[in-house]
Amino acid sequence: MRTIKQMLSMEGRVAVITGGCGHIGRAIAEGLAEQGCNLLLIDRVEDALKATSSVLGERWDVQVEGLAVDLENAEARVSVAPFIRERFGRADVLVNNAGFVGDSKMTGWVVPFEEQSIETWRRAVEVNVTAGFHLSQLLAPMLREHRCGSIVNVASIYGLLGPDMSLYDRTEMGNPAAYAVSKGGLIQLTRWMSTVLAPDIRVNCVSPGGVARNQPQVFVDKYVTRTPLKRMGEEDDFKGAVLYFSSDISAWVTGQNLVVDGGWSAW
Ligand SMILES: NC(=O)c1ccc[n+]([C@@H]2O[C@H](COP(=O)([O-])OP(=O)(O)OC[C@H]3O[C@@H](n4cnc5c(N)ncnc54)[C@H](O)[C@@H]3O)[C@@H](O)[C@H]2O)c1
């Protein structure tokens, strides 16, 4: 019988994390590196990748590399598999974490329904679903090789639930249809791939609730009141869920969506 410690160990394995320099991606990377996992971080900005990789590599004594890829660009995504093969020789885990979250200044994004643009819709779908689909396809042959392959998609509670727009009153924040629909698509892609890629590769999803990021107090107050555990999320809240799905401790779990939201979706 294996111990819990052995089942949670990621020693000798390689995880690819998209959006690895972002808030949640970085926390996921720390969690996997702490368990001995080597990492390929994918993000847009070379300098941020270099800085994050060197800090994590030194802190956890694992191999950490960075690769700048614009995930909106299909041709750029194709560079990922050869890079992993050359630098690591294997890939065991793919975490599709990068997200098109937009911002309030973007045209056609945080605006009333009638003004939400097809262009931003397409960009959100490209990053939030198509890139995850494409990278899973590109890495599947490698993920199959060592019989411990795992894909973990990072979706959102808004892939499951409709928005309550009154939360955003008196703020510049919003909740565009394309974000919700693309995250819903990622949750369904998880189920679809889980049966099709079985038994060689497990595919699961983590759906975060809202994370504290200096949002306006009026929004935070409403959000916390509506959350059973009475606070917004923190980056560390997602480490355990992603480690669970990445490691052998969830060896008989596939096709699931773990909602990490302080209970937001429970009522
Ligand atoms: N923050 C929240 O409240 C929240 C809630 C639910 C779900 N999520 C999801 O969690 C994931 C991580 O979010 P976060 O809060 O860490 O956001 P973040 O903006 O801090 O990090 C996202 C990272 O993805 C990268 N990225 C975005 N588009 C990219 C592209 N085209 N090519 C390459 N890299 C790209 C960004 O550079 C960034 O480093 C996202 O998928 C997001 O939708 C976040």
For residue 23, the CA-to-ligand 1 centroid distance in Å is 7
- Buried b / exposed e over 231-262, threshold 16 CB at 10 Å, is ebbebebbbebbbbbbbebbeeebeebbbbbb
Residue spans of beta strands (DSSP E) within the chain? 14-18, 38-43, 64-68, 93-96, 149-154, 201-208, 257-260
For residue 178, the CA-to-ligand 1 centroid distance in Å is 15
pLDDT at 87: 98
For residue 25, the CA-to-ligand 1 centroid distance in Å is 7
Ligand 1 site: residues with CB under 6 angstroms?
A: 19, 21-25, 43-44, 69-72, 97-101, 127, 154, 156, 208, 210-211
pLDDT at 105: 87
For residue 1, the CA-to-ligand 1 centroid distance in Å is 38
- Counting ligand 1 atoms within 8 A of each CB, the residue from 16, 18, 23, 239 with the most, and so the one to mutate, is 23
Q: What is the pLDDT of residues 204-231, one digit of tens each?
A: 999 999 999 999 999 999 999 999 999 9
Best CA proximity match to 229, nearest among 260, 257, 207, 206: 260
Domain 4-262, architecture per CATH: 3-Layer(aba) Sandwich (3.40)
| Nearest CA owner, ligand 1 atom 22 | 22
Q: At 217, which amino acid appears?
A: Q
Atom of ligand 1 nearest to the CA of 179: 43
CA 204 to chain CA centroid, Å, is 11
Edge-to-edge strand order for the sheet containing 149-154? 64-68, 38-43, 14-18, 93-96, 149-154, 201-208, 257-260
pLDDT at 141: 98
- Under the banding of pLDDT at 50, 70 and 90, the label for residue 101 is confident
For residue 79, the CA-to-ligand 1 centroid distance in Å is 21
Helix axes 131-144, 177-196, angle to 10 degrees: 20
What average pLDDT does the segment 163-175 reach?
95
CA dist 11 → 36, 37, 97, 136, 167 (Å): 4, 5, 22, 22, 43
CA dist 233 → 3, 168, 177, 227, 230 (Å): 30, 17, 22, 10, 10
Inter-residue contact 11 to 36 (CB < 8 Å): yes
CA angle 261, 266, 267 (to 5 degrees): 125
- Counting ligand 1 atoms within 8 A of each CB, the residue from 16, 18, 24, 205 with the most, and so the one to mutate, is 24
For residue 126, the CA-to-ligand 1 centroid distance in Å is 13
- Distance (Å, rounded) from C-alpha 69 to C-alpha 72? 9
Q: What is the pLDDT of residues 230-265, one digit of tens each?
A: 999 999 999 999 999 999 999 999 999 999 999 999
Inter-residue contact 102 to 176 (CB < 8 Å): yes
